[in-house]
Amino acid sequence: TSGSNLGLTSIHRKPYRSEPPSTMKSVSELLVGSAGFFGKTFYHQSIIPVVFVTAFLAWRARPATTEQIPKDFRMFQVCYLFVWAFCVASDWLQGPYVYALYSQYNFS
């Protein structure tokens, strides 16, 4: 009966192939393609140097201390910063969608 299907379509799996398909790009092709990405605009050209400068300045700005930081606190700190960075990155990724939403409602 049509009720047993519940409106779901069947999933067709492609057979497994051990060799990569001809549409797969090699590593060298990907690197050449990324050069096109980084050469598009000033933003694309500056993102990698800005990341390195920011990481260097953050490393230099850390407080110098002679006392030992407890190992448990260091583990907490690394875990906290990992989760914090993940949350900030996810918030950053939603930016274009919020912009599109505002533009759709004619906010400037």
Query: Would you call 105 helix, strand, or coil by DSSP?
Result: coil
Residue pair 39/45 in contact (Cβ under 8 Å)? The answer is yes
**27 vs 31: CA distance, rounded Å:** 6
**16 vs 55: CA distance, rounded Å:** 42
pLDDT at position 93 is 86
Q: What parts of the chain have a pLDDT lower than 70? A: 1-39, 108
pLDDT at position 53 is 95
pLDDT at position 2 is 47
